[in-house]
């Protein structure tokens, strides 16, 4: 016969193991704080932006919607060029980074808003000043290289990445890590609580006898504490004036 568990039994199990669940949750959060503060390397981000505009040779002509659409479509090509070895290698050599082209490419994120002619070059790394230099140098090298590859002159710097004396890391996020640790701690704690309850095969109540032995309960024997009985007898004697009476 398939056994079912009621909401009341679930609540009783959780209530019984509440201290264990809280302990596991607190330990998980404490481990998250220690790992975040002492074992995770802070990562910083620097952003440099350039804009794809109309060519200088046609600036005096009227700019049409088609020209803007063409510039936006070119941005997808520019994004690939920026992260290509042709640009990345020159950035590595100029800054003497000691990184491979693949390693540096993974640290560079190129994106633009939908239908926007502004391209953002974001660089992440453990050193904020180095990330700033990489972002600005990447845009500079790209602007030098792109006329050779595409015969265009419609790229100009919009804003450069700047050095900050007290930069804020983008990761790790202590608040987020604590929230994740708390959720995982509660889940693990609840799982351990039900596992211990499942492994506990001791008989404690009449229902346990019925479920385990499938026998009816004929009666119950109450526990008798001899110490309590002796204390009550001594109290009665003391009221009567001691063991010899008055």
Q: What is the pLDDT of residues 45-76, one digit of tens each?
A: 999 999 887 555 444 455 555 555 666 677 88
* Rounded Cα distance, 99 and 102, in Å: 8
* Rounded Cα distance, 89 and 101, in Å: 6
For each of the domains in the chain, give its residue range(s) and CATH number, in order of start.
7-36+173-237 (no CATH), 44-159 (3.30.70.1130)
Q: Is 48 left (phi over 0), alpha (psi -120 to 50) or beta?
A: beta
Question: How many other CB atoms are there within 10 angstroms of residue 24's CB atom?
Answer: 21
Burial (CB count within 10 angstroms: exposed 0-12, middle 13-18, buried 19+), residue 240: exposed
Residues comprising the chain, all counted: 246
The number of angstroms, rounded, from the C-alpha of 165 to the middle of its chain's C-alpha atoms is: 27
CA dihedral over 144, 146, 149, 151, signed as positive or negative: negative
Which residue(s) pair with 43 in the sheet?
A: 171
* Rg of the chain, C-alpha, whole Å: 37
Q: What is the mean pLDDT of residues 77-81?
A: 88
* Rounded Cα distance, 158 and 121, in Å: 11
Residue whose pair of structure tokens reads 């009550």 in the numeric block: 232
Burial (CB count within 10 angstroms: exposed 0-12, middle 13-18, buried 19+), residue 64: exposed
Higher pLDDT pick, 114 / 214 = 114
Q: What is the pLDDT of residues 98-153, one digit of tens each?
A: 999 999 999 999 988 777 788 999 999 999 999 999 999 999 999 999 888 887 77
246 — pLDDT class (breaks 50, 70, 90): very low
Which residue(s) pair with 171 in the sheet?
A: 43
Residue whose pair of structure tokens reads 């604590």 in the numeric block: 178
Q: Roughly how many angstroms between the first and final C-alpha of the chain, as a whole number?
A: 68
Structure tokens given for 26: 């607190």
């Amino acid at each position: 016969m398939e056994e079912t568990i009621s909401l009341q039994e679930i609540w009783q199990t959780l209530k019984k193991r509440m201290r264990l669940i809280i302990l596991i949750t607190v330990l998980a959060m404490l481990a998250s704080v220690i790992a975040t503060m002492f074992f995770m390397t802070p990562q910083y981000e620097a952003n440099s932006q350039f804009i794809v505009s109309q060519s200088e040779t046609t600036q005096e002509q009227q700019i049409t919607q088609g020209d803007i659409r063409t510039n936006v479509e070119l941005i997808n090509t520019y994004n690939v060029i920026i992260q290509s070895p042709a640009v990345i290698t020159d950035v590595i050599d100029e800054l003497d980074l000691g990184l491979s082209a693949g390693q540096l490419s993974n640290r560079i994120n190129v994106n633009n808003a939908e239908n926007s002619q502004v391209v953002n070059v974001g660089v992440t790394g453990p050193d904020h000043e180095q990330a700033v230099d990489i972002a600005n140098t990447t845009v500079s090298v790209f602007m030098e290289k792109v006329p050779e590859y595409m015969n265009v002159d419609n790229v100009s710097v919009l804003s450069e990445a700047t050095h900050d004396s007290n930069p804020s890391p983008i990761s790790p996020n202590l608040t987020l890590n604590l929230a994740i640790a708390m959720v995982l701690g509660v889940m693990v704690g609840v799982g351990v609580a039900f596992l211990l309850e499942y492994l506990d095969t001791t008989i404690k109540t009449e229902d346990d006898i019925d479920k385990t032995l499938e026998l009816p309960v004929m009666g119950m024997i109450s526990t008798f504490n001899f110490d309590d009985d002796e204390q009550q007898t001594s109290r009665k004697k003391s009221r009567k004036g001691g063991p010899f009476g008055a």
